[in-house]
A and B are shown apart, each in its own frame.
Chain A
Amino acid sequence: MGKNEMDRRTFLKMGGLLATGAVVAPGSQLLIARAAGSSGAEGDKQYAMVIDLDRCNGDCDNECEAACREENNVPIYGDERYDAYWLRMAEAKQHLPGAPDRRIPLLCMHCEDPPCVHVCVTKASFVRKEDGIVLIDEHLCIGCRYCVIACPYRARSMIFRKWEDAKNEQMGFSVNPDQPELMIGVASKCHFCTHLIEKGEDPACVQKCPNDAFVFGLASDPDSEVAQMIATGRTEVLRPVLEVEPNVHYMGL
């Protein structure tokens, strides 16, 4: 045996070490990625909404739904297969005797760790770090509908048809000329009326609710009404077991 040659034992040892390293290294990368945290907002601001279901008692004509549709030109075609909804009013029946039925406004929960963003192929869906709002960059969306399927709250709608086919005006919803029409072939969803927040106003559903059931504000600011309501511990989120950390909280669920 020459001086520079390895004996069989050392060779096998080295091989074993190499194999162990190859198995462990990718796993440790995964652990590091998990420790680094979610894709959620790490900026200064985080918008949130609290919906008081005791005030949302059906004493209205679903003004929030109509306000959302009119503010953002969400198309309705009169055909439930294609209708887009950014805010839906769901009715929940209670199983316990004597407990009241609930009307629950469902909208995008603006999760801090949203599944729709994780599945987006083109990175068109994203959490805006600056204010924690989950948005769709319609310029990048290719309309694959993964996000529509991934959303556990069914908050996203695909726009299947052209705006010319929409029957918003025939069905009694006014059209907002300041907002662009929604493009055909892209996913769409509630964006907390980003254009109104920019001007310092509340979202349309918050403004139009006759019973003041919606409260909107900065959850990151401890003095805001929203942050104080959440701090009381009386608010709940929908499907908390998913750990997506929604930013729409419900009171009296």
Chain B
Amino acid sequence: MTRAYVALIIFALVLASPFIVSAASGDIGDTPLKPDFETNGGIDPDVDECVRDVDFMRSDHMVLLKEERVKVVRHADRNEKYEIERCFSCHEYEKFCKECHDYNGVKPTCFNETGGCHTNEKLDKSERPEL
């Protein structure tokens, strides 16, 4: 009977081993903080105008980017207004995008930093294009 209990305990330990290992290595508690929508990465939505309104951009900017990508690549229909490089004339990835992306576990694979092809350093950041 005791042998059966010992076997059960060992089995439970094996099952729980991923949790034990991650707890021992101190990964727990490293979850990113909820992004601070008050500071907005230094951008004031009342003053600075984006291509669409704030609520749309906050929830659906990725849909917009993907639609524009399909239009440019597959239909030769480039709209300068929605070019992704223009985003970085106002928004800095490290300050504005990264916090929220980390919190939501999103890893956009467009750019060099995250294993993609495009660079976000082409545009001169001091020069803001007209909307």
A101 part of interface (Cβ distance < 8 Å):
no
Residues of B within 8 A of A183 (CB): 116-117
Contact A180 B117 (CB under 8 A): yes
Among the stretches A16-24, A135-143, A224-232, the one at the interface with B is A135-143
Please classify the interface of chain B as helix (H, G, I), strand (E, B), loop, or mixed, using the class held by over half of its residues. loop
Residues of B within 8 A of A139 (CB): 69, 73
Contact B117 A137 (CB under 8 A): no
Choose from A130, A135, A177 the contact partner of B77 (Cβ within 8 Å): A130
Q: What separation, in Å, do the CA atoms of A180 and B73 have in the docked complex? A: 14
Contact B73 A135 (CB under 8 A): yes
* Total residues of chain A contacting the partner, CB 8 A: 17
Contact A126 B74 (CB under 8 A): yes
Choose from B69, B76, B118 the contact partner of A128 (Cβ within 8 Å): B76
Contact A137 B74 (CB under 8 A): yes
Q: What does the 1/0 interface line of A34-76 toward B look like (CB < 8 Å)?
A: 0000000000000000000000000000000000000000000
Q: What does the 1/0 interface line of B86-100 toward A look like (CB < 8 Å)?
A: 000000000000000
What are 23 A-B pairs with beta-carbon distances under 8 A?
A: A126-B74, A128-B74, A128-B75, A129-B75, A130-B75, A130-B76, A135-B73, A135-B74, A137-B73, A137-B74, A138-B117, A139-B69, A139-B73, A177-B122, A180-B117, A180-B119, A181-B117, A182-B117, A183-B116, A183-B117, A194-B76, A198-B76, A198-B78
A130-B76, A139-B73 given; 19 more Cβ-contact pairs under 8 Å: A126-B74, A128-B74, A128-B75, A128-B76, A129-B75, A130-B75, A130-B77, A131-B76, A137-B74, A138-B117, A177-B119, A177-B122, A178-B122, A180-B117, A180-B118, A182-B117, A183-B116, A183-B117, A198-B76
